Structure 1
Amino acid sequence: MTDTPMAKLRHDPNGIAQAARLLRDGRLVAFPTETVYGLGADATNDRAVAEIYAAKGRPSFNPLIVHVADGEAATRLCHFNADADRLSGAFWPGALTLVLPLRADAGISKLVTAGLDTLAVRVPDHPVAHDFLRAFKGPIAAPSANPSGRVSPTTAAHVEAGLGNRIAGLVDGGACPVGLESTIVACVEQPALLRAGGIPTEALEACLGQPLLIAEDPATPTAPGQLASHYAPHGAVRLNATSVEVGETLLGFGRVDVPLNLSPTGDLTEAAANLFKHLHALDAMGVTKIAVSPIPDHGLGQAINDRLRRAAAPRP
């Protein structure tokens, strides 16, 4: 817990400057990206990065994503190959994280990489994140700004409810437009999908001209979001529900007449943007059993189903 109240900061020059000062002082600052709110720390400061793990209650073997202002900054941290060049050129800034070999002189805390010789890095596409990175003038380690394993935050209110007494500052940039974490692709050897996310797999494969390998081991994560149980609301989750059992509340999709519907029209982009918001709403309602309508497993539906499967997994 912090010894001073969390500073609520606006997206204006004064607020961004204060956020950057807090980061330089080794403090934690939450800020919005187009995907979800991130919990930022100076990626070169061991103690500050350790504070991320402590604030979130996050396992130290689970690596963090580093956010940078532009592709040039990323090349100073990592070695890029032709596949990484192609993907970053097409999707940065945006909801794509690349896992790349770490340069020996990058200066990134080993706590960020969980001791691995690779780094997860991305260039976010959000005006607040962009201004924050420019003001800080360095790499920012930033996992989602929520207690580990719980529902990711897509508004400042979500962050304050989950971590408000554990961080120094929060920049309010409104609701996150994508609403799902970034897609993660490793470009070390053959490109491999480590986590489905805000950019559909089909778009990445079209850019590369080849299919992505599927590389995932929940026991030894090489990137964020690979733990078997993750993104979990307080209530138990049952997937692919075509009926509602006693005591359940339905999280709908498509032509289902319920108060909480990811997208009544079956729009996967709308569903992705609403997923974490609706899970937070179910928590606020005190729901103990959640049934979820079937979600098509293509495009952004792949990422939505990934989050829901992890939310429904047995809790550690």
Structure 2
Amino acid sequence: MKVVEPTAQSVAEAATLLRDGKLVAFPTETVYGLGGDATNERAVAAIFEAKGRPQFNPLISHVLDAAAARQFVRWSETADKLAARFWPGPLTLVLPRAEGSPISLLATAGLDTVAIRAPSHPVAQALIRAAGRPIAAPSANRSGAISPTRAEHVAESLGDKVPMILDGGPCLVGVESTVLDLSTATPTLLRPGGATREAIEAVIGPIALSHAIPTGEASHKSPGQMQSHYAPERPVRLEATSVAADEGLLAFGPTVPTGAMLTYNLSPTADLGEAAANLFSMLRALDRPGIGRIAVMPIPQTGLGLAINDRLRRAAADDGTNQRG
């Protein structure tokens, strides 16, 4: 771990780390973020791993401005008004994913929406510009710990789990960004934060309040609502040790049952980081006409396996057809 002043050279080095799939902690006006390339599934998996984050909650992707955001989400007139007033700044907008958007499915927790914002901190802006890609970044601390507003907080919480920390001094806002869902019929406040409800309503009129607005450990909750996570249309069978001819198999490890209609292996070498990176894309690939059910091999309940199994249990929520074994 390296804690460095944000010079042109150190920012360029940090950008290189991001493009290489590594993690960098950096200051924003809200809190310090643990950044990874938002278009790189493996880098996003590393964020969850470093934080010890217990579920694959959606992560916020950080961009320079509204023009950049349009590459990744389906922009709207309402988004335009809000960005004109609050960007760069502590407001995150949740918008439908643009067709062909390169944002990682793991970063969006498999949802068809993307949480996106443009930070105002000059170091964050310089890093995004130098990296040339969106940066996925939750707060730079272990999951459940207090959000970091200084570089030393990041070092104390994450240690060697992050190769570089850009020390931009204390964060000015000190609380996370407000999260506003624009994918709903009425804009919905999912998380209160640095942009006030009153200021938002002064721009776009009344907004709805989510029943799942996080309280307490708000920074460690999903920017959206957990129950809205992507679930496949096909029933899901967990802990599968054999497979039927009409099933698609989500495999794990080197020893894979034969006979499935279609098989994708999360990680032939049983690497949980690789498995996490592949989870949502492979689950979607198996959710296709002709496949009667998706069978999932056992995943270890350790490390990232806890998050993988959490997501799979949600995908296999009991509707009377899903089974184990």
Query: What's the TM-score bracket when you normalise by the shorter of the two chains?
Result: 0.5 to 0.7
Match of 2:176 in 1: 181
Query: How many Å separate the matches in 2 of 1:63 and 1:206?
Result: 28
1:60-79 pair list within 5 angstroms: 60-79=55-74
Shift of the alpha carbon at 1:104?
2.3
For residues 127-164 of structure 1, the C-alpha deviation after alignment (integer angstroms, 9 at most, x for no partner) is 10011111001100000000012110000000000002
CA contact (8 A) 1:195 1:226 kept: no
Match of 1:149 in 2: 144
Is 1:207 aligned to 2:203, yes or no?
yes
Shift of the alpha carbon at 1:59?
2.8
Partner SS for 2:106: helix
Alignment RMSD, CA only? 1.8
Query: How many Å separate the matches in 2 of 1:129 and 1:196?
Result: 22
CA contact (8 A) 1:183 1:197 kept: yes
Shift of the alpha carbon at 1:217?
6.8
Candidates 101, 105, 113, aligned match of 2:108: 113
1:159-308 pair list within 5 angstroms: 159-188=154-183, 189-216=185-212, 223-224=222-223
Q: Which has the larger radius of gyration?
A: 2
Shift of the alpha carbon at 1:223?
3.6
CA contact (8 A) 1:68 1:121 kept: yes
Is 1:47 aligned to 2:42, yes or no?
yes
Query: How many Å separate the matches in 2 of 1:222 and 1:143?
Result: 10
Shift of the alpha carbon at 1:204?
0.5
For residues 245-275 of structure 1, the C-alpha deviation after alignment (integer angstroms, 9 at most, x for no partner) is xxxxxxxxxxxxxxxxxxxxxxxxxxxxxxx
Unaligned runs of 5+ in 1: 1-5, 228-316
Query: How many Å separate the matches in 1 of 2:32 and 2:198?
Result: 25
Query: How many Å separate the matches in 1 of 2:66 and 2:128?
Result: 13
Match of 2:260 in 1: none
Is 1:100 aligned to 2:83, yes or no?
no
Query: How many Å separate the matches in 2 of 1:175 and 1:129?
Result: 13
Shift of the alpha carbon at 1:222?
8.7
For residues 207-255 of structure 1, the C-alpha deviation after alignment (integer angstroms, 9 at most, x for no partner) is 112233334277xx9943878xxxxxxxxxxxxxxxxxxxxxxxxxxxx
TM-score, normalisation: structure 1: 0.67
In the alignment of these two chains, the number of paired residues is: 220
Match of 1:279 in 2: none
Match of 1:83 in 2: 78
Partner SS for 1:193: strand
Query: How many Å separate the matches in 2 of 1:16 and 1:48?
Result: 18
Partner SS for 1:109: coil
CA contact (8 A) 1:99 1:119 kept: yes
Candidates 16, 28, 35, aligned match of 2:11: 16
